[in-house]
Amino acid sequence: MGKPTGFMEYERKVGKSDKPKDRIKHFNEFHQTLSKDERKCQAARCMECGIPFCQSGIMLGGMTSGCPLNNLIPEWNDLIYTGNWKEALNRLLKTNNFPEFTARVCPAPCEASCTCGLNGDPVSIKENEYAIIEYGFEHGLMEANPPKVRTGKKIAIIGSGPAGLAAADQLNRRGHIVTVFERSDRIGGLMMYGIPNMKLEKHIIDRKVAIMREEGVTFITGADVGSNYKASKIVKEFDRVILACGASNPRDIKVTGREAKGIYFAVDYLTSATKDLLQQGTTFLDKLESFTISAKDKKVLVIGGGDTGNDCVGTAVRQGAVSVLQLEMMPKLPDQRAENNPWPEWPKVCKTDYGQEEAAFVYGQDPRAYQTTVKEFIAGEDGNVCKVKLVRLESKFNEETKRFSLEEVLGSEYEVEVDLVFIAAGFLGTQSYVADAFGVELDGRTNVKTEQGKYQTNVDNIFVSGDMHRGQSLVVWAIREGREAARAVDAHLMGYSSLA
């Protein structure tokens, strides 16, 4: 332990963010980084406690506590403090194939379970992770390292999100011949098109994919397996297959008037915006020609209070929306942990994210309306949505089910003018055409069915990982599943596995 008293001597400090008035002019990342000396002090705050909850990766109360990748957090914090950045990078890469992704988009369950956070502020683990991986790239330490020996075994991975990429990276290191099939025009899955540039600039994905290509992984884009590319061909040509297509069915809002024009799923809106940026080769608003789906001069409604909903808010603000309203069905969470939500559980507290901050700056108020949902979409004569009928909700206890449920408040309906609606209500599970193409069974939640804790499907030589296996989840869970599926495939092929 480099600094036994560090957690008492130094206060938590994180890099500042650009002010909303500046960052809404572009689609770039906007977080500043601490200096090397400041980062050393932050690493010194790590207590290297006897039980490092930060790396536990367990479920408590139905929520993730600690890092699902079991990152060796106390170790690399100590190495940052002692200035051994190269070894810190080695320890980080032992458990995480893509710290450049997680350091940007993960909600940091590691910090939520940090022992320092029990009676104060947690260690700035996420920013330390960012500092380590960016140090690696800046100092030429992230070079391609292809395997010296090949097994001759061919593995196909369907989907290039974090689960698919993690499985590909692991199996390629083992010496297998890996091909990744991606239906889109670019590699990265939802990280490429479902997460906006403000959180993850796309060259960050491209630079890692370039290294994987140098190491021998083959990537095929435009291959929509089960549609324009035959699953039977893949099964015939490859020794094993891993399905990593995500939970790609967006949850819809089935109310009167849903057929009106101007209503989009959030993922389609975010995908469209990112494609426009990439095709036009700029992320600055004053240089952009137009957006395929534009919120400019429009009254925008976002249905859903999660991360994707917030991303829609931030994107609409940048595009020049006249107003933005974001609906959240649940009540506003408390600002501090409640007594029934103790550490090290994930803190169920109100979080104001970047998009909501920007909307508050532009429009003068928080865009969120809690305990509210859509009762009806109303279209104008041109068929475009022009109004929505909203209704307030309240939580009531159902004596029959012995559970609380949200019910409409009688007489609470009201109308709001809107020009554009984005549905960010989450995802339901596997798209059936992919599952049908490979003949794999689905469970009651429409995820691909396997034995508990296993990754092999009901079909010989076909495995599954990521959201397609566990349902919509975090990037860190997807990477963990990709690694574990890779180990399962390796053992199935070779009779044992040396993969971590």
Report pLDDT digits (tens) over 329-352.
Answer: 999 999 999 999 999 999 999 999
pLDDT-based confidence at 94, cuts 50/70/90?
very high
Structural domains of the chain in order of their starting residue, each with its CATH number: 6-138 (1.10.1060.10), 154-249+428-494 (3.50.50.60), 263-423 (3.50.50.60)
The 10 Å CB-count burial string (b at 16+, else e) for 140-165 is eebeeeeeeeebebbbbbbbbbbbbb
Task: Please give the angle made by the CA atoms of 452, 160 and 489, to the nearest 5 degrees.
Answer: 40
% helix / strand / coil in the chain, to the nearest 5? 35, 20, 45
Q: Please, which pLDDT band fits residue 50 given cuts at 50, 70 and 90?
A: confident
Contact 27, 318 (CB under 8 A): yes
Tens-place pLDDT, residues 204-224: 999 999 999 999 999 999 999
- State the pTM of this model: 0.96
Quickly state the pLDDT bin for 138 (edges 50, 70, 90): very high
pLDDT confidence bin for 236, thresholds 50/70/90 = very high
Structure tokens at 500: 């971590």
pLDDT at 3: 86
Nearest-angstrom CA–CA distance, 38 and 33: 10
- Percent of the chain scored above 70 by pLDDT? 100
User: Degrees (nearest 5) of the Cα angle 340, 344, 348?
Assistant: 50
Contact 412, 391 (CB under 8 A): yes
Q: How far is CA 301 from CA 319, 376, 383, 413, 424, in A?
A: 14, 13, 17, 16, 10
**Does residue 1 surpass a pLDDT of 70?**
no
